[in-house]
Structure 1
Amino acid sequence: MGMSGAYGQSDEREAIATLERALELGHNFLDTADYYAIGHNEQLIGRAIEGKRDKAFLSVKTGQLVTAAPNGGMAPGPVHTHPDYLRHAVFYSLRRLKTDYIDLYTPARVDPKIPIEETVGALADLVQKGIIRYIGLSEASAESIRKAAAVHPIAALQIEYSLWSRDIEADVLPALRELGIGLVAYAPLSRGFLSGEFQKPEDLTDSRVNMPRFQAENFYKNLELVNQIKSMAAEKGCTPAQLAIAWVLAQGEDVITIPGSKRIKHLEENIASENIPLSKADLQRLEAIMPAGVVSGTRYPERFLSALNR
């Protein structure tokens, strides 16, 4: 997403080099969406994997319509996962990605207008035809996950999960483990905040300025927590970002994470998180610093909250 201008400017040449470097290092889970810059991101990935499709695992989200934002960018619009829409959308993604199949295909949100059983039924048909290999869900509640899994096996749930966002631990994560579904944790660095790079709200000039956790008093309360993470990371000889990613990876073998690396430098830094051991004492200390619910502010503006955990 970041490679298509979601968080400031991006360099396409560097983005493609970063994708190629990821594949060289054996990190093959490439997550995109047909609505990231209205297809631009899929085209970018298509160019990066040309001639090496077999090395990439393509994860594509769909069904989130976008509208023009006041600042000239794009803003989330209605969710649309009608079976007919999905059957058409997948072929546009195939064309942009220059491939004849998608590994993991995921409705970006649960559509309140369409029973999830119908959505999954349409995707199951695409699996049968060999157009997609696996079905995913995103930002779904435990109830919706169970309904979906009753129609067809669900491979993974993509949802926000980090030291900063832990609400899924109450009922969603147990449901996933009960059903044998993997977790794809997005925003493991809480949109960069856990990197420790931001010291005041004015450091942000993109869409994050609209997110409550980055605003006014919330920003400074949350910064106090991040400063504790920075101190612990310094003691362990790693960066705060690496410590935050290591914590996500430590939550189980069924958890993978997709930090939004758009430069080789950050990619290699993030990958090195795998080599940071976290002892039981380390995990207890992180729990004491950032217990569930301690963060100030919601993760999205009020108008978007109804689309989460649905």
Structure 2
Amino acid sequence: MAHLKTSAMKTKNLVWSLLMILLSFGICSAQSNDYPFKVKISGNGAKNLIFIPGFMSSVDVWNETIGELSSTYKCYTIQFDGFAGQPAQGEPSLSNWKASLATYIQKEKIKNPIIIGHSLGGVMALDLASTYPDLMQSIVVVDALPSLSAAFNPNFKVQENLDCTDIIMQFTGLTDEQFKTMQEQTAGSMSTIPEKQKEIVNWSLKSDREASAKIFCEFNNTDLRAQLAKAKVPALIMLNSRFGQMKEGINSQYTAYANKDIQYAPSPTHFLMFDAKDWYLTQLRNFIK
């Protein structure tokens, strides 16, 4: 009888423990609803890495990178609302996303993170470094500029209270088939790897078009060049080889960022973590170690 009582007690304790674990997961989920993004955490190293994907991209863009690093680093991946199947909630805004991510880092007490961003995520890393210069250890920018619009329009100036109606109509007015065709054409210049092209297209097809249009409009109306003077932390900037053909203009964009290292990849495509994987990982490892 004593043996049966002990077994019953163990079973009760196990059920109670599992219940508490499930409740704790529910609490974490509720907490994440306070932010315009979801967070996936992997690895348990002493150093913290925060990964931000690009426009309409999934956190899966970092899978191979995290596979290489999670044994020695703790990795946080940020999936913003409206992109790659993550439901859109509220009014999307890059400035709100930036402030919310800074709040998350502070509240979760993530010490000295290295923020790694691709494309739009790289712009956010630059914005965070110049707005919250004491929040992080360093940043890594993968194929992004402080002002993409200024790279192709020397007279570009940020417009106050920009009306995004036309861009929203362009995004939402296409049929599903038209939008897919457009994304397939774009993906061909983003990566040379067919299976990766399919992933890129699928992420965009799963994105909320209206929310994406609003972010696209804000992104193209962004100019961080002057405020980079406020950034203190070291920055590794990895750019595709096409940008290497306009180094003078690229260098002028980053002039205000004092502590930077600009490197040009052997690949001309945008997704360097795919098409220039070995080069990209070598640069990344050497910088974050």
Give the TM-score of the pair, scaled to structure 2: 0.32
Which of the two has higher C-alpha Rg? 2
